[in-house]
Amino acid sequence: MELSELHIRRRRPRLWYLSHNWTLPPGNIFRQPLTCLSVLLVLAVLAGCTAQYPLNPVLGPRQTVAPQHRGVVEKDDPLFLVLAFSGGGTRAASLSYGVLEALDRIEIPGKGGPDRHTLLDEVNLITSVSGGSFTAATYGLRGRDMFRDYRERFLLVDHQSSMLAGFLNPLNWARLWSPRFGRSDMAQEYYDQILFDGATLGDIPKRDRPNIMILATDILNGQVFPFSTLQFSLICSDWKRFPVSRAVAASAAFPGAFTPVILKNYAGDCGWKPPEWMTQALEKPDPSSRGYHMAKSMATYLDRDDKPYIHLLDGGISDNLGLRSILEYLAVRGGIIDSLKEQGYTKVRRMTIIIVNAENREQPRWRLLDEVPGLGAILGASSAIMINRYNFETVDLLRRYVRDWSDELRAAGMPPIEFYIIEVGFDFLRDAAEREYFQAIPTSLYLPEVEVDRLRSVAERLLLSSGPFRKMVKDLGGRLPGDPPAEKVDGYTGEPKTVASPPSQPLQPLPAATKAEPGK
């Protein structure tokens, strides 16, 4: 089979919800239209009454959730590298994938031996929201193996049409009519079939890869809900057996298009006890303390009579950059010094946070008209404004925290840590037409092939043009594209081996129509 034929087949995944083979039994009963319709209606009602979303597994009475995987980098490694993948549908998935590809092309000195060592090997943690969660979860499960087919298997597939066909298929209406089954539950089944193959969160730590933190939003309190061992300990649910596809479905459950993903709260049924910082914060309430507010929010999960179920929607509602959960974690544990000690990273001298921001600023056509915009247009514009402004405030908060951490280390007489805050976003493109083009790409679950490849390409360009990134690579003794090859050492030239990942496609000049109308 030709590769192009394989790509075409993969772009049109088998519709699992349309694969039933119907045959008529002997006799004439099903040949009468009204009789057939009545039978189907009865069957649909019966099926709808029994449809149920999959319940999250409960922990045993004396069980506790094991500590979460802490990343692949050795505890004496001087570099701690975090990637934060924003939301934004396939555009976010493509941009974050391009960053992974770019990191795997940047060689740095390894731990010895002839094996090629890149910045991708140094990643400790990936946090992800919505569209970015598809890329983060896939890399957590497959590592570099995802470079073989992620583009064809996921990025080039029209997921939007496939899921819409499923929602509109009468064979699924019975389940969708059920009050205990929704569109996000069907989306989970779809993601599991095309990408995750039945994997659970517990499958990620089994592999020598970074910690993956998928984020959703608890829609009742507006707080970030991380799919972490700590969060699952609160509700006495088994984190290891929770499907990756369901975590991603919750993280990407855009309100309206998808329904909330529901988790059952089993709090009190296991052997988990609140950490000391949480107990102390609740015993001595301080409304001005971030730690107190986080402890108060977490405590709501311990009362399962008042909160028997958790309703989760898109992580972008509470934190579209996936950064605030990190900042809150550090804040409640006493700052950077105590947090690193708790995790065992006592030798860290460089901390890098790469923010992959796929936010869009599409210019709607109604801005040029003298007509009153409709409700949908206003809601869409309001949502974009709030998310974009919140993104800026989050990055600004991170920079203020970095200054505080530096002061904290200096006051304690400890060796300083070099912080590198690196932003990969379309605002950093200098050409106005190109910037408008990328900002206008929709946040849907389908993009044309040319846009997917342009996003991958611009991700590398933005990363390599970042001053803090270039400084970090130089400080680590690494090689940037265009640098002279490394000297030959013990028969190893330092030249990269052939990688299965296809090279980034160069960004072609934009068509004149695109420049004139960036929304198209």
- Per-residue pLDDT, 462: 97
Task: Give percent above pLDDT 70 in the chain.
Answer: 73
Residue 29 lies inside a defined structural domain of this protein: no
Alpha helices in 83-215, H assignment, sequence order: 89-103, 131-142, 150, 159-168, 170-177, 183-191
Q: What is the pTM of this model?
A: 0.81
- DSSP character for 203? G
Is 42 a member of any domain? no
More confident residue, 257 or 72: 257
CA distances from 83 to 114, 295, 453 (A): 27, 26, 21
**Residue 12 forms part of a structural domain:** no
Cα–Cα–Cα angle for 491, 495, 501, rounded to 5 degrees: 135
| Residue tagged 């095309």 (tokens) | 194
Q: Is residue 213 part of a domain?
A: yes
For residue 44, tell me if it sits in a domain: no
Rounded mean pLDDT, 464-480: 93
Count of structural domains, the chain: 1
Give the domain extent around 71: 55-516
Q: Which residue has the tokens 């404004």?
A: 385
Mean pLDDT, residues 27-50 taken together:
55
Is residue 41 included in any domain, yes or no? no
In a domain, 497, yes or no: yes
Q: What is the pLDDT of residues 222-264, one digit of tens each?
A: 899 999 998 999 999 999 999 999 999 999 999 988 999 999 9
Q: How far is CA 402 from CA 130, 180, 368, 391, in A?
A: 26, 45, 42, 17
Residue 441 has pLDDT above 90, yes or no: yes
Return the pLDDT at 335.
73
The rounded Cα 152 to chain-centroid distance in angstroms is 19
Q: What is the pLDDT of residue 67?
A: 57
CA distance 218 to 64: 23
Q: Is residue 2 part of a domain?
A: no
Give the pLDDT of residue 171: 85
Q: What is the pLDDT of residues 210-226, one digit of tens each?
A: 999 999 999 998 899 99
For 76, 81, 122, 231, the CA distances from 72, given in Å and listed in that order, are: 12, 11, 7, 22
